[in-house]
Structure 1
């Protein structure tokens, strides 16, 4: 079979789809703008088709381009894996991981350590953002896998439960609520809250748990980082609600105090998310295995 496209043309197609701009795509591929533009034009002309629509100064994949993009991503990933095998380079190749803040700050490091011990020389990148941003990165093929706290429902994504988690309300040791055995709905409404931002998985779980109260809550601050929220609560600005994973050390030190809310279900799951058409090379497969093994190791 004679192929009428080259891997370089696929690289250009994917880079333009990612950057929405030929100039930035050329820069990312270390090509001249004219060479990048010619490669894309040749690919379209060879098959007498158009892969992009021009929207202002931006190039966006049209319906055909979006349909072909996952296949091109998979082909290029397989080619890179094949090249690595030919060159017999150490490591498991490139792996781009996205993790939401709680997972990225409190769980991912130990998993990364195990992965790199098993596959030294691997090229691994970890991006930490909220659930909405990780979802967008998966859909745009900016990352290979996402570890997320929020529930995501998108037909292009495969989302599987990874491990259980629980949110906990908490306050400073000198807060008036600190000595109370549990909080009623009236006390939750009387409190000032410092919460994660909309779009985060933690906020999604909190909003669901506080159904019926949410519109009346006194939300003083919405912050993007768990550590900033903990510092604000320690300073007495209000109470909050975060993953127990992120609060374990503070509870041990006594710098923060857990608050019982037995009438509010703060349980949730953490998830692993993948694009359904993502090629799962050896590196990604091993990463998924490490994530699942970490859960199995916690079971008695």
Structure 2
């Protein structure tokens, strides 16, 4: 579209005032700038919109038709501008989260927020921690929630809670108190490379044991739990992800000596991200809900 909002604004003001001088004073520009804007508009439309009568600009038949069509459009755009300048409860926010947070925390957070603020739309993208960092850097999402650590100068990270990782299995015979080194030769199922859960766990045990016997890598926590329920193997997983299975007894926490593997849940965003009112409000709401959820575990 070649017509600009500024040209429309000047056109409407000239219709209202009838004199270029008055419009120029009101808009604090030169009279020649107003005149040039009207001429540019007429050139775009291909026809004059004003008749010049007695030093006044009077709408002609083309101008009256244009005025009728453009006035409600301009008013709507003005209303939209005002609304977005004066409300933080309307808009679209793009959220990304790692698998553990998406599966066990983020859906309820988003539903509660959108129930409270029906004019806010939220899109949710899932991935491992590395994926979410990449999405932030590429501008695909506005804010991310991951676990582990981020070593990237473009990313701002804020710790919003501590998550506990535990070793679990369905094997009823793993009922002793083990050292991690005594279990490394058993079959382990872990998340794929790039997963925050995997990275934190392997970094934690790397100086405590020989390399694990990793016989399967999967991209989703629920898939790992399904394997555990049907095979004799182990995994290290967020306690949040297996709370219900631990209560039902379908999975058991394997007791390991001197094993206290914890990680940060992080809220991340780009260092150059503009913090709108909507961004700030959602970030505060989500981080507080994650903190509350972790306290109840």
> TM-score, normalised on structure 2?
0.68
Q: 2:245 aligns with which of 239, 250, 255?
A: 250
After superposition, the C-alpha distances for 1:161-205 in whole angstroms (9 at most, x for unaligned) are: 01110101000043x31x22x221332223110001110100111
Could you say which residue in structure 1 is the equivalent of 2:202? 207
CA apart distance, 1:153 = 1.1
Gaps in structure 1 of 5+ consecutive residues: 1-5, 8-78
Could you say which residue in structure 2 is the equivalent of 1:96? 94
1:122 matched to 2:117: no
CA apart distance, 1:264 = 2.8
Distance 1:95 1:226, change over 3 A: same
Distance 1:205 1:84, change over 3 A: farther
Could you say which residue in structure 2 is the equivalent of 1:20? none
Q: 1:221 aligns with which of 216, 220, 230?
A: 216
Alignment of 1:180-195 (within 5 A): 180=176, 182-195=177-190
- Asked if 1 retains the 8 angstrom alpha-carbon contact of 2:188 and 2:214, the reply is yes
CA apart distance, 1:294 = 2.0
Distance 1:230 1:90, change over 3 A: same
Q: How many residues align?
A: 220
After superposition, the C-alpha distances for 1:209-232 in whole angstroms (9 at most, x for unaligned) are: 111356521100010000110111
- Asked if 1 retains the 8 angstrom alpha-carbon contact of 2:159 and 2:267, the reply is yes
Could you say which residue in structure 1 is the equivalent of 2:193? 198
Distance in 1 separating the partners of 2:190 and 2:291: 31
> TM-score, normalised on structure 1?
0.67
CA apart distance, 1:94 = 0.8
Distance 1:199 1:215, change over 3 A: farther
After superposition, the C-alpha distances for 1:97-136 in whole angstroms (9 at most, x for unaligned) are: 0000000110101211221022102221000100010000
Q: 1:238 aligns with which of 233, 239, 253?
A: 233
SS in 2 for 1:216: coil
- Asked if 2 retains the 8 angstrom alpha-carbon contact of 1:206 and 1:241, the reply is yes
CA apart distance, 1:297 = 4.2
- Asked if 2 retains the 8 angstrom alpha-carbon contact of 1:196 and 1:225, the reply is yes
Could you say which residue in structure 2 is the equivalent of 1:158? 156
After superposition, the C-alpha distances for 1:217-263 in whole angstroms (9 at most, x for unaligned) are: 11000100001101111112411111001010110111100012232
SS in 2 for 1:120: coil
Distance in 1 separating the partners of 2:291 and 2:103: 21
